[in-house]
């Protein structure tokens, strides 16, 4: 299950967001407000994905060598992608789908958590709401009506490309927002930013602190559980540590796995956080700047 979660991480962050990055650069001019809103969250995404295709998830690459399910990793990712639904990537919808929350209009975020001691959900909902508030103020400043959304040719071309080409296997799914209203624009941008920033950070940067101690989460098992009555089963009862170490990855693969996890979990020296922008002049419009200051 943990390996499936690792596959889902790469798919549900790096892979699914790439069409948004490409469409943003192809269809939205650098002066377009949605380009300015999204671009900071796409920083280094394409470079990282390109390097992953060269050495990490390629045929015979590190994932196939050191991680379960080896050569079937990409095939399993494709199966996971079959269940991917864009609107369900919104944190509240995701928590409801996982049955750790229920809808509750009286709660601050519109949902009630069934598990209160759940930092990912508790802290995540605060970040989600902050992102959504910023995006709402930002989009409402540039789009004064539904008509403005519908008549923005760049915006419509952007949405068409990422949906029909970027996520072409799902282009006919009925759950895609139609991009005809301001609310659809707000929701879509909020989900996109959430995936590229907070969701990725939550599942990526904790990999090494936990998995760097290999016995917490071995990348694969070389043997089945011993059958009761067998000599291996008796050894398991008398010396479980020895049996465990013979079962998990050998030393060379262990070194490879830990090295990969350590690299993946690093923060870049030039990291920009959610409340930061690479240029103080990313926009000269005062209302969006004020909204961003409140966000930070």
Cα distances (angstroms) measured from residue 291 to each of 6, 134, 257, 272, 284:
35, 6, 42, 18, 13
d(CA 106, CA 117): 20
Cα–Cα–Cα angle for 54, 59, 64, nearest 5°?
105
Label residue 1 by pLDDT band (50, 70, 90): very low
Q: Residues near 285 by Cβ (< 8 Å), separated by ≥ 6?
A: 141
Mean pLDDT of 253-269: 85
pLDDT tens-digit map of 63-107: 888 887 888 888 888 998 999 999 999 999 999 999 999 999 999
Computed over every residue of the chain, the mean pLDDT equals 91
pLDDT the model gives residue 212: 87
**Model confidence at 2, in pLDDT bands (50, 70, 90)?**
very low
80: closest CA among 20, 21, 19, 16?
16
By the 10 Å C-beta count (0-12 exposed, 13-18 middle, 19+ buried), 293 is classed as: exposed
Q: For 267-284, what is each residue's pLDDT tens digit?
A: 887 888 888 887 777 888
CA neighbor of 72 nearest in space, from 81, 63, 83: 63
């Amino acid at each position: 299950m943990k390996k499936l979660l690792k596959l889902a991480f790469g798919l549900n962050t790096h892979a699914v967001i790439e069409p948004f990055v490409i469409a943003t650069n192809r269809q939205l001019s650098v002066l377009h407000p949605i380009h300015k809103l999204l671009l900071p969250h796409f920083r280094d995404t394409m470079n990282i994905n390109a390097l992953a295709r060269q050495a990490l998830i390629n045929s015979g690459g590190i994932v196939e060598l050191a991680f379960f399910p080896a050569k079937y990793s990409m095939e399993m990712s494709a199966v996971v992608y079959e269940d991917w639904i864009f609107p369900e990537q919104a944190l509240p919808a995701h928590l409801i789908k996982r049955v750790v929350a229920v809808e509750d209009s009286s709660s601050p975020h519109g949902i009630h958590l069934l598990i209160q001691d759940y930092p990912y959900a508790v802290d995540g909902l605060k970040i989600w709401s902050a992102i959504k508030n910023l995006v709402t103020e930002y989009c409402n400043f540039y789009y004064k009506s539904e008509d403005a959304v519908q008549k923005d040719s760049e915006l419509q071309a952007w949405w068409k490309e990422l949906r029909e080409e970027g996520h072409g296997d799902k282009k006919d799914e009925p759950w895609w927002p139609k991009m005809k209203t301001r609310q659809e624009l707000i929701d879509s941008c909020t989900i996109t930013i959430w995936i590229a920033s907070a969701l990725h950070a939550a599942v990526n940067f904790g990999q090494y602190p936990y998995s760097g101690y290999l016995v917490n989460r071995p990348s694969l098992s070389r043997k089945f559980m011993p059958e009761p009555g067998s000599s291996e089963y008796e050894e398991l009862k008398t010396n479980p540590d020895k049996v465990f170490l013979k079962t998990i990855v050998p030393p060379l693969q262990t070194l490879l796995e830990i090295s990969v996890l350590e690299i993946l979990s690093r923060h870049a020296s030039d990291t920009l956080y959610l409340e930061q922008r690479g240029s103080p002049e990313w926009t000269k419009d005062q209302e969006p700047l004020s909204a961003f200051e409140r966000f930070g």
